[in-house]
Amino acid sequence: MQEAFALTREPNWVLHHEGYSLLSESALESRFALANGFLGMRAARAISRGPTWLSWLGYIKWASWPRCYVAGLFDRPNTVPPVPALVPVADWSRVRILLNGDPLLLSDGEMIAGMRSLDLRRAVLLSELTDRRPSGITGTGCEMRLVSMADRALGLQLLRFSLDRDGIDVRLEANFGMSGLGMEPLRLEPDLGAWHAEGTGESVAMAGAATLRAGGELLLPERPFSLRWVWSWRSVAGQQIEFDRIVAVARGDERDADPGPAAAMALARGRALGWRGVLAAHEAAWGQRWRAADVVVEGDDAVQRALRFAVYHLTSAANPDDETVSVGARALTGDAYFGHVFWDTEIYLLPFYTAVWPEAARAMLTYRFRTLPAARAKAARMGFKGALYAWESADTGEETTPERVMGPDGAMIDILTGQMELHISADVAYAVWQYWRATGDDEFFVAAGAEILLETARFWASRAVMEADGKRHIRHVIGPDEYHEDVDDNAFTNVMGRWNIARALEAIEALRARWPDRAVTLFEKLSLSDDEITDWRDAAERIVTGLDPATGIYEQFAGYDQREPLDLSQYADRKVPIDVVIGRERTQRSQVVKQADVVALMALLPDEFPGAMAEANFRHYEPRTAHGSSLSAGMHALVAARLGDADMALRFLHHAAAADLELDPNSAGGIRIAGLGGVWQAVVLGFAGLDISGETIGIAPRLPPEWRSVSFSVRWRGRPVQVRITAATVRVIVPDGQPMDVRIAGGIRKVDAGAPLEVSLKQATASP
């Protein structure tokens, strides 16, 4: 078994953490979490761990937060407000060891060594522990855990340890820890348990098998309870104990579904392979993912590590085989935001999946297609046509944003985003369009994408109301800058809405020209008339954008320029968000921007910022932005890189990378996956200048001088393309198929399959 614990020596492929600190444990558990898009597991230690309380101010604050999640398993708990939430399932990694009857606890022993390592390449969590008991007995061991990328139903845990004494009575209990609140047991059998969520009736079954060997001899366990194994033996100093546990999980989506047989079958698959086979298949599947998605930066180890960390979590979050779920704001690594899906997915994550894992992108967009009825219902409830997606979405697509939450001072705060943060509909449409452009997946477009584009465009046309000034206004909204609520004509919202309508009009043309039968059935289904299409054109022409033709600057929303200017450099040393420093009311009265808003628009729609407009808008909004969200820095890095400001772009990139890579306490509720998507975008779309939205794939690099090269692969229109960029050259390989046109720094080059093309950047820019 020892070989399974071998740790890579390559520093850019592994994260280490030594010790156990009550203050940072929860953030560490998020950062080192394991997931495969179906199962998620925080990196809580299996042995001798919390929960441990840190404070007692009317509540217990847990240091360790051992949690396992199953994507799409939501409950509607009996809380006020009744916000649907991802429910944790039984924690299958729990191990309890008793020596002469005394449990091995964190609180009374001496931890001589306690390293946890996350091997990013193999996607395994490795822990080492050397612990001296008050009695002087010392145990040394290591644990390995994974959730399989090859068979997403499976998890694996290996444990190997020894004691330094003979004759100790040892008892090892392998448990499935408590299941989530509100999970009712349906049946509990020796090797299988099934539970359902009280509110939704969604169910889960978990099956397990475990073995233990002492000095190579198989020991038989007692089975006192379902999914519990207990072994007892007398220790021999130095004897190796080897434990393995395979678990299998299945979800039942219908109220009376029984996922038990699916879990039992998955367990049988795992047992047939054995732990070595499960491990080998998992490593092979990750090897394939890394070949498709790795980005190699020579000359900047910090960025390299940040990218690997980002690609690791982005890959862990997705499941191309499940179209009923999407990625929540904290993926499957923590409870914050209840597992809800935000615009984060379409705007911050989809560019990655579309470029390197289109099957995963398609599954996430299909989730939006499946939740289109709920988006239609939301628009109708608010008195509008078309589809308004939920700002926070769970299993059904209904709006799940809590209407009120308790603020830090105990007062209740109304949350308006669920009613006012409308840009989500254009964000979904944006991701659909980009996916279609980059993949050429006409089947998806015809079956699902076009309908999303039309229904979201219809929403914008009905929401943009003609007023006495002859313009169409979108009032009472919240833009990405959530510090400013209930504003009129947010530039991001309006320009994205207008763009959404324009793409829908293009989609109509494409349907009529290429799929006329589908055009007829779809327009009939949607009761879409020529008059309505004419109204969309009118809306697109008349929507207020806030663009000042004199300066070329978009006003973020109507009246923004009249708000109080605030010199943020005066608050540069603050450790908390600006709204905490100056108060919510003053923040709202000021020009301070929470996160990329007009800057996000620049990142998404660069063509809306021709010539000097890009620079002018960036220089206007960058100093006004307080980065009160982890979504902000990556967007700024991307835009600064495109503008050629490598210094500023690098500063923002390091800032974005630090959010979860450093132990920021805000990661306790889960990693901020959108920020990690932002890291990938800043490097690949920003510094490398990849563009997969046009009729040809484009690369327009602007590397920082200290980087020697950047290499990555993408899939464009179904074909792999490998790219390596240095300060002076771009090298492109198209492994097979027809010759491919590639736009390099503006000039079109033909790349023959299998024949690398190397272009000097000086020449490329000289001959566009």
* Cβ-contact 540, 464 below 8 angstroms: no
Distance of alpha carbon 554 from alpha carbon 397, whole angstroms:
32
Binding mask 256-295 for ligand IFM (x = CB under 6 A): ----------------------------------------
Considering the complex, state which of residue 30 and residue 726 has its C-beta at the smaller distance from ligand IFM. 30
- Pick the piece of the chain touching ligand IFM (CB under 6 A) from 237-245, 339-347, 379-387, 483-491: 339-347
Q: With binding defined as CB under 6 A, does residue 496 bind ligand IFM?
A: no
Closest CA to 141 of 155, 124, 127, 122: 127
CA distances from 355 to 414, 522, 606, 692 (A): 38, 29, 19, 8
344 binds ligand IFM per the rule CB under 6 A: yes
For residues 733 and 756, is the Cβ–Cβ distance under 8 A? yes
Orientation angle between helical segments 491-514 and 530-542, nearest 10 degrees: 150
Q: Give DSSP secondary structure letters for 387-451.
A: ----SSB-SS--B---SEEE-TTS-EEE--HHHH-TTHHHHHHHHHHHHHHHH--HHHIIIIIHH
Shortest distance (Å) from residue 342 CB to ligand IFM? 4
CB of 4 to ligand IFM, least distance (A): 36
Part of the chain binding ligand IFM (CB under 6 A), chosen from 16-24, 233-241, 292-300, 341-349:
341-349
- Measure the CA dihedral 35/40/42/47, to 10°: -100
Q: Which helix (H) or strand (E) holds 25?
A: helix 25-31
Least distance between ligand IFM and beta carbon 417 (Å): 8
Distance CA 41, CA 254 (A): 24
Sole window of 168-176, 337-345, 542-550, 570-578 interacting with ligand IFM (rule: CB under 6 A): 337-345
Least separation in angstroms between CB 330 and ligand IFM: 8
| Stretch near ligand IFM under the rule CB under 6 A, chosen from 8-16, 338-346, 530-538, 712-720 | 338-346
Is 342 a binding residue for ligand IFM by CB under 6 A? The answer is yes
The interface mask with ligand IFM, positions 132-171, x = CB under 6 A, is ----------------------------------------
In the 8-state DSSP scheme, what is residue 345? I
CB of 314 to ligand IFM, least distance (A): 15
Q: How far apart are CA 664 and CA 680, in angstroms?
A: 20
AA identity, residue 729: T
Residues with Cβ < 8 Å from 442, sequence gap 6 or more? 436, 514
Residue 394 C-beta: closest distance to ligand IFM, Å = 14
Q: Which is nearer to ligand IFM, 270 or 339 (CB)?
A: 339
Give the shortest CB-40-to-ligand IFM separation in angstroms. 17
Asked if 674 interacts with ligand IFM (CB under 6 A), we say yes
And the tokens for 102? 């005394």
Is there binding between residue 343 and ligand IFM (CB under 6 A)? yes
- When asked if residue 494 is in the footprint of ligand IFM (CB under 6 A), the reply is no
Stretch that binds ligand IFM, among 182-190, 259-267, 335-343, 574-582 (CB under 6 A): 335-343
Which amino acid makes up residue 322? D
Find the helix packing angle between 372-381 and 450-463, rounded to 10°.
Answer: 10
Stretch that binds ligand IFM, among 48-56, 94-102, 336-344, 536-544 (CB under 6 A): 336-344
Q: What would the x/- binding string for ligand IFM be over residues 612 to 641, using CB under 6 A? A: -----------------x-x----------
Q: How far is the CB of 200 from ligand IFM (least distance, A)?
A: 22
CB 402 to ligand IFM: min, Å: 13
Fill in the amino acid letter for 559.
Answer: G
User: Is residue 244 at the binding interface for ligand IFM, with CB under 6 A as the rule?
Assistant: no
CB of 353 to ligand IFM, least distance (A): 17
Q: Closest by alpha carbon to 50, among 66, 67, 64?
A: 64
Give the whole-angstrom CA distance, residue 113 versus residue 139.
11
Tokens of 504: 């829908």
Which amino acid is it at 655? H
Q: Which is nearer to ligand IFM, 243 or 348 (CB)?
A: 348
Residues forming the site for ligand IFM (CB under 6 A)? 329, 337, 342-344, 480, 482, 629, 631, 674
